[in-house]
Amino acid sequence: MDLKPLVTLLAIVNPLAIVPFFIHYTQNFSPAQRRNTIRVSAFSAFVVIAISALAGLQILEFFGISLASFQVGGGMLLLTSALNMLNAQPAEAKTSTHELQDGAEKAAMGASIAVVPLTIPLLTGPATMSTVVIYADKAKTVLQMGTLVGYGVVVALATALCFSLAQPIARVLGKTGINVMTRLMGLILAALAVEVMSDGLTKLFPVLAHGLS
C-alpha cells in the first residue's frame, strides 16, 4: 500500500495548524455547537477529497487540460503552500484577514463557519484538490481508487481529532509548538512538490527524462 498520498494530504491539510483558527471561530459557541462544527468540518473535508478523486480527472478532461500541465501547476501550488508553511502559515490560508472577518460575521448572522472558512479554504483548498487529482490518475484499479478515497476518511478523522482536542493541544504545544510542527510539515511538502513537478515536466518535455537517465 502506497502511503505517499496520505502523507501528502496530511501535510497539506495539516489540521493541527488550523487549531488556532478553530478556537477563534468557536470561542463563543456552546459545547453542542462546537461538536456540530467539528462533525461538519471533518465531513466536508472528506467530501472535497472524495469528489476530487472520483470526478477531478473528468473535470480536467471537460476543460481540455492535460494531466501533465495540471501536475506542473499543482506542483507549483504545492510548493507555494510549502513555502507558506515554512513561514509558519497554514498551507491553505489563502484568504485575507478581511475575508476571514467576513466569515466570522457570517457565522454571527447564523451561517455555519464549519464549511467556510474552516474547511474551504483553510483545510482543503486548491492545493489539496490538485494533489488528489494527481494521485487519482495514478490509481489503476478500483482498490487503489477506493484506498485514495479512504485516505479522505483518515484526513477527516485526523481533523475531527485535532479539533476535538483543540484546547489541550493549544495549551500543550503553544504557538511556538504549532509553528514548529507547521514548518516540519512544510519541509516534507516541499520535497513532495518537487517530485510532482518533475513528473509533470518529464511528461511535457520527454527530452528531460532522457537527459536525467
Structure confidence by residue, pLDDT tens digits, 6-24: 999 999 898 988 888 888 7
* Prediction pTM value: 0.73
More confident residue, 98 or 181: 181
E-assigned strands of 46-96?
A: none
Can you say how many angstroms the Cα of residue 125 is from the centroid of all Cα atoms in its chain?
6
Q: What share of the chain is helix, strand, coil (3-state, %, to 5)?
A: 85, 0, 15
pLDDT at 44: 95
More confident residue, 69 or 111: 69
- Minimal CA–CA distance to 147: which of 29, 68, 77, 53? 53
14-23, 53-62, 160-169: which has the minimum mean pLDDT? 14-23
Domain ranges of the chain: 4-206
pLDDT at 110 exceeding the cut of 60: no
- Minimal CA–CA distance to 7: which of 178, 195, 162, 155? 155
Task: Kindly report, residue by residue over 112-153, the tens digit of the pLDDT.
Answer: 788 877 888 789 987 899 899 999 999 989 999 999 999 999
Ramachandran class of 118: left when φ > 0, alpha when ψ lies in -120 to 50, beta otherwise: alpha
Per cent of the chain over pLDDT 90 is 33
Q: How far apart are CA 105 and CA 43, in angstroms?
A: 23
Q: What is the mean pLDDT of residues 84-102?
A: 60
pLDDT at 125: 81
Confidence tier at 106 by pLDDT (50, 70, 90): very low
Task: Kindly report, residue by residue over 185-205, the tens digit of the pLDDT.
Answer: 788 878 888 888 888 888 888
pLDDT at 111: 38
